Amino acid sequence: MPRLVMKFGGTSVANVERIKNVAQHVKREVEAGYDVAVVVSAMSGKTNELVAWCKEAALAVSGDPVYDQAEYDTVVASGEQVTSGLLALLLNKMGIPARSWQGWQIPLYGDDAHGSARITGIDGAGILKGFAERKEVAVVAGFQGVHKETGRIVTLGRGGSDTSAVAIAAGLKADRCDIYTDVDGVYTTDPRIVAKAQRLDRVSFEEMLELASAGAKVLQVRSVEVAMVHNVRTFVRSSFDDPNNPKPGTLICGEEEIVESQVVTGIAYSKDEAQITLRNVPDKPGVAAAVFAPLADANVVVDMIVQNVSPDGKTTDITFTVPSADYARAMAVLAKEKETIGYPSIEGAQDVAKISAIGVGMRSHAGVAAKAFKALADRGINIRAITTSEIKFSVLIDQAYTELAVRTLHSLYGLDAA
Ligand code: ASP
Ligand code: MG
């Protein structure tokens, strides 16, 4: 029998009525002859509520909001337990054999980085046995696994049920993985900003990885990494389509499957960035290490880095970006290192945004980014920092210009729908 993994996100399982709709989608695929594993998220808003309860509980005892991460995982994993049970219950009532599987029951193993564990292995034997002996649909609670050595429940980071789904597809050697969400595919940019954004029929793993890392929220970044490594053909499609006549959505696949490719495939943006500038840092060997090593030790991921050539050979400015969530921590680390690094002043800005253009065509075309710099300048948008890679370039700008910059680049690269 061909095998299929179907994943449904929070809005697709938001209430019993929506879960019943999911069951109709599953029924269609079972009747088409697939052995099906379904991965579900928690009902939309549920995980946020559970996270808030953990904070509330910690603060109920002391002013310190820090709490035990293993217990956090126990609490937040419960949202998926509820939806997996409800979907299996509904399927059974509809006459389709099904059972729920919690992460520890499969088992899906993770490391012990509680709150953002990485998957270390999956034993699909129980699920496969259910397929073979009872034609039983496996309804898997996404987002959660178990740490083998301690037996504790772990979760895979926010948005992690995408990664559960792709990893299970790889583990079960499924023919494909369908990720159902509230949009009907991956778009050239956020359709809420650009009405002329277009749905892509296909996008390569590498481009999707860059799009997701640059802020496109449709898939968790790790899920795309897993899909790429294991070559899992993954579709992003809508659970709001008619269950009896759904559209295929966007296929994320290897580059060799993409026949026609644009120079730029998509524009992503992120407002979750902050900029830090160290002024008049001594221009001598070892300074970059003095700045960035302590940040790395504090687990702050630095993205863009700009260092000027010093005019006098003595001092220079270093500008870089960090995730907004880590901004305060980064500033505290740098304050502690002030003497060692030897900078007289520091500046920070949180009202910035990063705009990225992505496309495998950039490998073979010159001047792609240069065109953008001109177009942004023509609109009076100042560029604070630039980074480029083989298939992406990003610019850091004032956050107030985010929408204008996204629209400008979207039409510049011919992505607007006719
Ligand atoms: N329920 C989890 C979250 O909200 C996991 C997921 O939905 O993918 O982050
Ligand atoms: Mg999600």
For residue 8 and ligand 1, the question of a CB distance below 6 A is answered with no
pLDDT score for 184: 95
pLDDT score for 167: 98
pLDDT, tens digit, 9 for 90 and up, residues 342-394: 999 999 999 999 999 999 999 999 999 999 999 999 999 999 999 999 999 99
Find the ligand nearest to 159 CA.
1
pLDDT score for 65: 82
Ligand 1 atom closest to the CA of 162, numbered from 1: 8
Query: Cα(47) to centroid of ligand 1, in Å?
Result: 6
Residue 396 in tokens? 């850091």
Alpha helices, H only, 141-286: 161-171, 205-213, 221-230
Residue whose C-alpha is closest to residue 126's, from 136, 114, 116, 115: 136
pLDDT, tens digit, 9 for 90 and up, residues 44-82: 999 999 999 999 999 999 988 889 999 999 999 999 999
Regions of the chain with pLDDT less than 50: none
pLDDT score for 339: 95
For residue 10 and ligand 1, the question of a CB distance below 6 A is answered with yes
Q: With both helix axes pointing from N to C terminus, report the angle between 221-230 and 205-213 in degrees, rounded to the nearest 10.
A: 160
131 three-state secondary structure: helix
Query: Cα(362) to centroid of ligand 1, in Å?
Result: 33
Ligand 1 atom closest to the CA of 80, numbered from 1: 1
For residue 12 and ligand 1, the question of a CB distance below 6 A is answered with no
Ligand 1 atom closest to the CA of 79, numbered from 1: 1
Residue with the smallest CA separation from ligand 1 atom 4 is: 47
Find the ligand nearest to 47 CA.
1
For residue 166 and ligand 1, the question of a CB distance below 6 A is answered with no
Token match 């549920």: residue? 46
For residue 233 and ligand 1, the question of a CB distance below 6 A is answered with no
pLDDT score for 260: 74
| Residues 6 or more apart in contact with residue 238 via CB below 8 angstroms | 180, 181, 182, 183, 184, 185, 246, 247, 249
Write the CA distances from 67 to 64, 114, 151, 190, integer angstroms.
8, 12, 19, 36
For residue 47 and ligand 1, the question of a CB distance below 6 A is answered with yes
Residue 21 in tokens? 């709709």
Token match 């259910």: residue? 130
Ligand 1 atom closest to the CA of 157, numbered from 1: 9
Query: Cα(42) to centroid of ligand 1, in Å?
Result: 6
Residue with the smallest CA separation from ligand 1 atom 5 is: 159
For residue 144 and ligand 1, the question of a CB distance below 6 A is answered with no
Write the CA distances from 45 to 15, 26, 41, 76, 144, integer angstroms.
11, 23, 11, 12, 17
pTM for this entry: 0.93
Ligand 1 atom closest to the CA of 158, numbered from 1: 9
Query: Cα(153) to centroid of ligand 2, in Å?
Result: 20
Q: Identify the structural domains of the chain with CATH numbers, from first to last.
A: 3-259 (3.40.1160.10), 267-412 (3.30.2130.10)
For residue 103 and ligand 1, the question of a CB distance below 6 A is answered with no
